Structure 1
């Protein structure tokens, strides 16, 4: 194991060791939640082929002012998969119901939360806000489900390989072509996170991510909304998607982060942490 790989695992273990773990069962599915910090609750939802690790560079900063709650969503990471047919068209609705039921158990049905979601987690955050209510502010980072055009030019390669070296090479290629922009951002920590999450993913999010489901979910929501894309995000034309989702409503703001790809809160974590810190401040 290289020193970079060792340091990456140490980083993950250190932040994980600070978490308070909660296993919550709802309709036959047990979901692992991690909690950091104290203060008003902030729920963070990861992307497809992801886990709580998608927020690895943000948790410590955000937990300085909030109790940060991050699940491995059903079918991801340390959580169980949903029961039933994996191709059920209602599977995403059941995932959202599970998260809503979990939050009622963990925090209480009347507890107000702030909510942020990345990629597929952005779509899920919008649906969760519509389903549960009680969301004070919401931030969507590179959200899926916008229904607009995408600008991915390089096809993803098959990473489901038995040879570990070949698998990591494929995952590194996919990180560079889909998630991150700068070659230097594809570091040992990003690769460790991506490989661990990909191997643990059992939920097929792609069909939902390519839909217009987020647009539909936002129609009747009126809380303040912040949307953020990396300048080079391949999952959207950011300005086009922002204009569509903001719909000229004054409570909806958006910005483009220079020099970043899709996984914007990893690649530009310091800037994103400052931005979210200001957005989530009661002042």
Structure 2
């Protein structure tokens, strides 16, 4: 696996990435507070058959932040610029949490550049109560209150595998720059409905995967997303929460490999 920092041609903005393997491109986008290293199990496994590219989201890892106040469409535009500088081929796009919002927005905005899309622990049309809670957390982060204990308690249980993953996630949360973290979290808090009305436009093979015990990216949301698109599948992994790609890496990678092997249905079959 190679870690690289690229300079984007349109804006001159730096972008950090990890890549490995060869073949058809698979692009991975992490969630708020994380970095491309959070995809290590999937990079190792999927690079056996594909060219895997894991991006640092703006303001995370080695990627420069977007301007303060940027909302979800700005992150989608950032992904378009990044992919323009990386590959001309349609990509299989995987996003986790905030990365899932970016991936979904890109799939509806640039369908010709997406071969398939998988959303891990994605949010979709939050309830009024959930929306108020996440916006309150965004306001606290923007005010400089960088609390990592609360999300860690919400994301992880007490098993040895979960505690090992928790330690890695805690390191990434402590390392993230507060400006980039706050900017992305605000976009995450307000972005769950931005592209929701356009999910019906997604016709490529679609996977929505979450943990059965994830209280925020719920199984109900995964099922609703899969039903909203034209060729969707929902997968719920029992016994796991929000960081399911780290706490159940082999199970998640197995579902991603199955998704990568799915053949796109014809327009006639989708009708």
What is the TM-score normalised by the length of structure 1? 0.77
2:62 is equivalent to residue 78 of structure 1: yes
Structure 1 residues 53-82: Cα deviation after superposition (integer angstroms, max 9, x where no partner)? 221222101111110011101111111112
- Between the aligned partners of 1:248 and 1:118, the Cα distance in structure 2 is 19
2:94 is equivalent to residue 112 of structure 1: no
**Are the equivalent residues in 2 in contact too, given 1:50–1:76 (CA < 8 A)?**
yes
Structure 1: gaps of 5 or more residues: 1-17, 160-166
Q: 1:272 corresponds to which residue?
A: 252
* Residue pairs, 1:65-144, within 5 angstroms: 65-82=49-66, 84=67, 86-88=68-70, 91-108=71-88, 111-133=89-111, 134-144=113-123
Q: Kindly report the root-mean-square deviation, in angstroms, between the aligned alpha carbons of the 2 structures.
A: 2.9
Mean CA deviation greater in 249-258 or 183-192: 183-192
**Are the equivalent residues in 1 in contact too, given 2:200–2:230 (CA < 8 A)?**
no
Compare the two structures and name the one with the higher helix fraction.
Answer: 2
- Between the aligned partners of 1:73 and 1:249, the Cα distance in structure 2 is 25
What is the TM-score normalised by the length of structure 2? 0.80
**Are the equivalent residues in 2 in contact too, given 1:50–1:194 (CA < 8 A)?**
no
- Between the aligned partners of 1:94 and 1:233, the Cα distance in structure 2 is 27
- Between the aligned partners of 2:172 and 2:217, the Cα distance in structure 1 is 26
**Structure 2 residue matching 1:57: 3-state secondary structure:** helix
Aligned length: 247
2:160 is equivalent to residue 180 of structure 1: no
**Structure 2 residue matching 1:56: 3-state secondary structure:** helix
- Between the aligned partners of 1:249 and 1:263, the Cα distance in structure 2 is 24
Alpha-carbon offset, residue 192 of structure 1:
3.1
Alpha-carbon offset, residue 224 of structure 1:
1.3
Alpha-carbon offset, residue 183 of structure 1:
4.1
Alpha-carbon offset, residue 231 of structure 1:
0.7
Give the direction of change, closer, same or farther, for the CA distance of 1:45–1:128 in structure 2 (3 Å limit): same
- Between the aligned partners of 1:38 and 1:254, the Cα distance in structure 2 is 28
**Are the equivalent residues in 2 in contact too, given 1:38–1:63 (CA < 8 A)?**
yes
- Between the aligned partners of 2:238 and 2:106, the Cα distance in structure 1 is 29
Alpha-carbon offset, residue 208 of structure 1:
3.1
**Are the equivalent residues in 1 in contact too, given 2:206–2:229 (CA < 8 A)?**
no
* Residue pairs, 1:90-239, within 5 angstroms: 91-108=71-88, 111-133=89-111, 134-144=113-123, 146-149=124-127, 150=130, 171=148, 174-177=151-154, 179-201=155-177, 202-203=180-181, 204-210=183-189, 211-239=192-220
